[in-house]
């Protein structure tokens, strides 16, 4: 086997492992555990994470496990508290098991004392706070075009446009990192129709902007496909 083939094989292995490590592959098995909630707290998935996850410490018959519930910015009151018995259906991402700190990512939690059920994820890579997002369709005229620091990564400059609709409301849309594409056709005076969404993290932090997914230039009907909105990935 020559060096080129070894490099390709190694790259494929890393890609497969990376996908599995983040729990988005089809091979991650679902499992159920029952136990008593000992504590509910916020923990970060990694030291560099921008936000933490509400996490429950659950005592089972054999050991205490960590159950990752939902991001702290998702304002949700779980139907259980410390001392309640719960049944959790979820999966363990291989990367946490590999690190020796397995965490059960909850898809569904049932309070065995009250019968209340909390659905958090449709499956690996399909959290409810993302798949339940509603798209925004917005039409109007571009009144401003500017460069803006990235949200979370301010060193990366983004193309941002402001669009005024027929009612006089001005909305702000993030288009693309400027190094990727500066879309010169998106200039003041251009009339557009935009399909967009607001990431829940932005809404929780009062960031009054939208992420554009698709833009139709009304002058000639040309469509700029930027990215898929979350609801289009279902």
* Interval 179-232: pLDDT, tens: 999 999 999 999 999 999 888 778 767 788 999 999 999 999 999 999 988 766
Say whether both 213 and 183 belong to one domain: yes
Tabulate helix, strand, coil % of the chain (nearest 5).
Answer: 15, 40, 40
Residues 107 and 181 in one domain: no
Residues 108 and 80 reside in one and the same domain: yes
What is the domain-level CATH number for residue 118?
A: 2.40.50.140
Closest CA to 84 of 31, 42, 38, 53: 38
Calpha distance 224→171 (Å, rounded): 18
Q: Domains in the chain: how many in total? A: 2
Q: What is the pLDDT of residues 125-145, one digit of tens each?
A: 678 776 656 788 999 999 999
Residue that finishes a domain, picked among 123, 144, 166: 123
**Judgement on whether residues 154 and 214 belong to the same structural domain of the protein:** yes
Determine the Cα–Cα distance for residues 25 and 36; give it in Å rounded to an integer: 30
- Residue 23 falls within a domain, yes or no? no
User: Which segments within 92-125 are labelled E, that is strand?
Assistant: 103-111, 117-119
> Based on the domain organization, do 34 and 112 belong to the same domain?
yes
Q: Which domain holds residue 167?
A: 133-233
């Amino acid at each position: 086997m020559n060096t080129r083939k070894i490099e390709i094989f190694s790259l494929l292995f890393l890609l497969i492992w990376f996908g599995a490590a983040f729990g988005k592959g089809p091979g991650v098995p679902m499992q159920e555990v029952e136990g008593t909630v000992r504590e509910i707290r916020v923990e970060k998935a990694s030291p560099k994470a921008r936000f933490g996850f509400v996490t429950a410490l659950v005592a089972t018959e054999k050991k205490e496990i960590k159950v990752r519930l939902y991001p702290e910015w998702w304002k949700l009151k779980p139907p259980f508290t410390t001392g309640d018995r719960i049944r959790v259906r979820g999966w363990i991402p291989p990367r946490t098991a590999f690190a020796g700190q397995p965490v059960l990512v909850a898809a569904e939690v049932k309070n065995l004392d009250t019968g209340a059920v909390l659905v958090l994820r449709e499956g690996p890579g399909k959290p409810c706070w993302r798949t339940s997002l509603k798209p925004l369709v917005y039409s109007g005229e571009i009144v401003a075009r500017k460069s803006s620091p990235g949200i979370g990564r301010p060193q990366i400059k983004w193309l941002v446009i402001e669009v005024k609709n027929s009612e006089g409301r001005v909305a702000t849309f993030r288009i693309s990192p400027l190094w990727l594409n500066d879309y010169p056709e998106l200039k003041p005076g251009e009339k557009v129709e935009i399909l967009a969404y607001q990431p829940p993290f932005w809404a929780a932090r009062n960031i009054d902007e939208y992420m554009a997914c698709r833009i139709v230039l009304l002058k000639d009907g040309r469509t700029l496909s930027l990215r898929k909105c979350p609801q289009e990935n279902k």
